[in-house]
Structure 1
Amino acid sequence: MEFPVDVALAELVPTLPVGTGWRYEMKFDGHRTVVWRERNTVRLQARSGRDVTAVWMDLARAAFDMLPPGTVLDGEAVIYAHGRIDFGAAQSRALSAPARARRLAEDLPAHFTTWDILLHPEQGDVRARPYDDRRALLATLLREHDVQPPIQLVPMTDDPAVAMTWYQQLPEQGIEGVVAKRATSVYKPGRIWKKIRHAETVDADVVGYTGPGARPRALAVRLPGGRIALTQSLTAPLAAQVAAHLAATGPPRSARTNSGESYTTTTSGLVVEVLAGTTRHAVVTVTRLRSA
C-alpha cells in the first residue's frame, strides 16, 4: 500500500438504514485522518491525501509509541474542549502552521478515534476483507498492544435503537451523527457508507474560486451528483482560511460552472460543508471549511 490512500466516504441519507447486516458507528465531529505507522516513522494523511503530520504531531508520537510498524488506520482527529468534542478547535489546529499547532497542542491535545484498519502488521492489506473481519482485527490489535487514549476505537453497535439513542442524546457532546456500514462491505474509495447527521449539510469539493487568491470572494464547488456551482460570498474568516490553502496550489486557469459563471480553478483538495437546502439553487451557502 502506498501513501496516500484513497479513502472511503459516506453518503448523507435522511433516515438510518435498518435491516439485517447493518453496523452503526458514532460520527465524531473532527478532521478525517489516516494514520500510517511505518517502520521508522509515522505519517498522517488528510482526506484529500495531503500529509498533515506536522499539525498533529502529538497524535504522530502516540501512534509511534503504541502502534506496531506496518499498521494503517482510518479515523478522525478530534479535540475535546470544555467537556465536549470541539470541531472549531480541530479546525484551528488543522489550519495552523506547525509552530502554532505545537502551541495549541499544549493546551488542547488531540485524540484519534479509529474505525477501520487498512493495513495489518501481520496480515498485510486487509481492505478486501469484510467490515466485520476488519473491525475484529482492529479491536484485537488495539487490545493486544495495549493501545490507550489518545488513540481509541469508535463505538459500534448492530442495534439501530442504540444508534438512534446516540443520535438523539449525544449531539451536545460533539457526536454529530451516525454512520451505517454493511457487515460484508469491503473498504474502497467512494461513498460506500450511509450517514445521518444533525447538520443539514452536504460535503462539496472545492474546485475553484472567484476574486483574488489572497482574498477569494466565493468558491466554485462540485456538489453530489457532479454539478459545479458558486457559493455565496465568503465571510472574512472563511476567506482567510481558504486563501491559506490556495497559495500552495498549481498554476490557475479559467473555467465555468454548469450555469456559465467563470471562476479560477484550484487543486487545493479543500472540502466544505454547504447547506443541503441550497444545493438545487444557482448559488449555494457554505457553512464551514471541512478539510484539506
Structure 2
Amino acid sequence: MDLPVMPPVKPMLAKPAKKIPPGMQYEAKWDGFRAIVFRDGDEIEIGSRTGKSLVRYLPELVAALKANLPERCVVDGEIVIVRNGRLDFDAITERIHPAASRVKLLAETTPSSFVAFDLLALGDDSLVDTPLTERRAALEKALAKAAPPIHLAPATTDEKVAEGWFEQYEGAGLDGVIAKPLDSLYRQNERLMTKVKHERTADVVLAGFRWHKSGPVVGSLLLGINDAEGRLQHVGVCAAFSMKRREELVEELEPLRMESVEGHPWADWANEEAHESARLPGAPSRWSGQKDLSWVPLRPERVLEVAYDHMENGQRFRHTAQWRRWRPDRTPESCTFEQLEEPLSYDLGEVLGGSAAGQG
C-alpha cells in the first residue's frame, strides 16, 4: 500500500456542547465504530479509532469498499449495522469475534455498512490541509455512484435543518449532531469539531459499586431499574467523580454494604448462564479482556438521579451515566422503565435517502 496518507491515522475528534453552533457544516452523529478506510487498488485497510485493524472481522464490508470507493483513497467514516430501520450498536460490537467461523456467520446474518463523511486523500493527493468545504465537495464527487452498503453521510449548512435532524434522527438510533467549521483542516486526534448530544435524566437504584483501579476508593456505581415483573435489571454505571468524592463515597456507602451477594437481586452475576436471562453486572465481554469485573454488593435501598443520552435497545444506558443527585424522596420500587422517554421512531432509510431501508 502506497498512499499520500498512510495508516495508522487517528481520527479528528469533537468537543461537547449543549447547543448547535451557528455557521458550520452539520451532520448526524452516527452510533457505530469510527473507522478510517485506506484503499490502494485491491488493498484495503480499515483502521479503528485506536489504530487496530478491523479487516478480518468485516469481510463483507471489504468487498463492498472495493466495489464502491475510488481506486486510491483514504476515507473517514463510521461502520454501522442497520436492523429494523435503526442503528444497532450491540450488533456491531458482536462482530469483533476471534473465531473465523463466527466472523463468517455474522457477515451473513448481520452485515455491516459504512457511512463516509470525510476524505483525507484521493489518488496521489493528500487533502488533510484542504478546507472542509473542498474535502466535502471532493467526497460527494468520489461517492456519486456508491451503492449500499456504502453511503455518503448527509450534510447541510442550514442550522434549522440541523435542528430538525437533532430531533428526528434519534428515532433511527443516531445520537446527536456534529458541527464542523467550514474552513477546518483535517487534524488527527484534535477536537476541532463540536458534538451536540441528547441528554435525559432517570431515577435509578444504587445496587453496588466497583473499586477504583488506583486504590481503595469507589470507581463506579452500579445502577439498576425495575422491569415490569419487578426484577432489578442492571442498566449501566456512573463513574465520573473527583478523587475526593470517590473517597467520600466509600464512607457514605458503608452502611449499605452486604457481606456477600447472597440475597441480592444480582446474586447470580458470576454465573455466565444467568446473563442470558437477566441483565447483570460483570457480563462476559471480549472488550473487557482480563479486566476485573467483580463488585461490592449494596442493599438496593437508595435512589439517585443520573443523566444519560439514550438507551441501547431500551435496556441499558448506551454510555456511562452522569451523576446528578441523590433522590431520598423516591423509593427503589418506583424506579421502573416506564419513566424513560422513548424517541419517536424514524426509519434510517429516510436519513440516507432510502438507500438503507430494508437492510438487516
Fold shared per TM-score above 0.5:
yes
Q: For structure 2, which runs of at least 5 residues remain unmatched after alignment?
A: 202-211, 221-238, 241-245, 248-279, 292-317, 325-360
1:73 aligned partner: 75
- What does residue range 77-156 of structure 1 map to in structure 2 within 5 Å? 77-94=79-96, 97-122=99-124, 124-143=125-144, 146-156=145-155
1:175 aligned partner: 174
Q: RMSD of aligned C-alpha atoms?
A: 3.4
Q: Counterpart amino acid of 2:130?
A: R
Change (3 A) 1:235 1:4: same
C-alpha separation between the residues in 2 aligned to 1:33 and 1:69?
18
Q: Over residues 20-47 of structure 1, what are the superposed CA-to-partner deviations in whole Å (9 max), with x where a residue is unaligned? A: 3x11001121111111112331111100
1:5 aligned partner: 9
2:28–2:169 CA contact under 8 A, matched in 1: no
C-alpha separation between the residues in 2 aligned to 1:160 and 1:60?
35
2:129–2:186 CA contact under 8 A, matched in 1: yes
Change (3 A) 1:199 1:32: farther
2:25–2:156 CA contact under 8 A, matched in 1: yes
1:176–1:199 CA contact under 8 A, matched in 2: no
If the length of structure 2 is used for normalisation, what is the TM-score? 0.58
SS of match in other structure, 1:54: helix
Q: For structure 1, which runs of at least 5 residues remain unmatched after alignment?
A: 202-208, 212-216, 224-228, 247-271, 279-292
SS of match in other structure, 2:13: strand
Match of 1:40 among 29, 39, 42: 42
Q: Over residues 112-166 of structure 1, what are the superposed CA-to-partner deviations in whole Å (9 max), with x where a residue is unaligned? A: 00100111115x11011000000000000111xx211111111111111111111
Structure 1 residue 245 displacement after superposition: 7.6
2:120–2:128 CA contact under 8 A, matched in 1: yes
1:243 aligned partner: 288
Change (3 A) 1:35 1:178: same
Match of 1:274 among 300, 317, 320: 320
1:35–1:74 CA contact under 8 A, matched in 2: yes
2:163 aligned partner: 164
Runs (4 or more) in structure 1 with deviation over 2 Å come to 94-99, 239-246, 272-278
Percent identity, please: 31
If the length of structure 1 is used for normalisation, what is the TM-score? 0.70
Structure 1 residue 95 displacement after superposition: 5.0
C-alpha separation between the residues in 1 aligned to 2:200 and 2:51?
26
2:66 aligned partner: 64
Structure with the bigger percentage of strand:
1
Change (3 A) 1:46 1:275: same
SS of match in other structure, 1:29: coil
Structure 1 residue 110 displacement after superposition: 0.8
Structure 1 residue 96 displacement after superposition: 5.6
SS of match in other structure, 2:289: helix
Q: Which has the larger radius of gyration?
A: 2
1:55–1:97 CA contact under 8 A, matched in 2: no
Q: Over residues 238-267 of structure 1, what are the superposed CA-to-partner deviations in whole Å (9 max), with x where a residue is unaligned? A: x53333387xxxxxxxxxxxxxxxxxxxxx
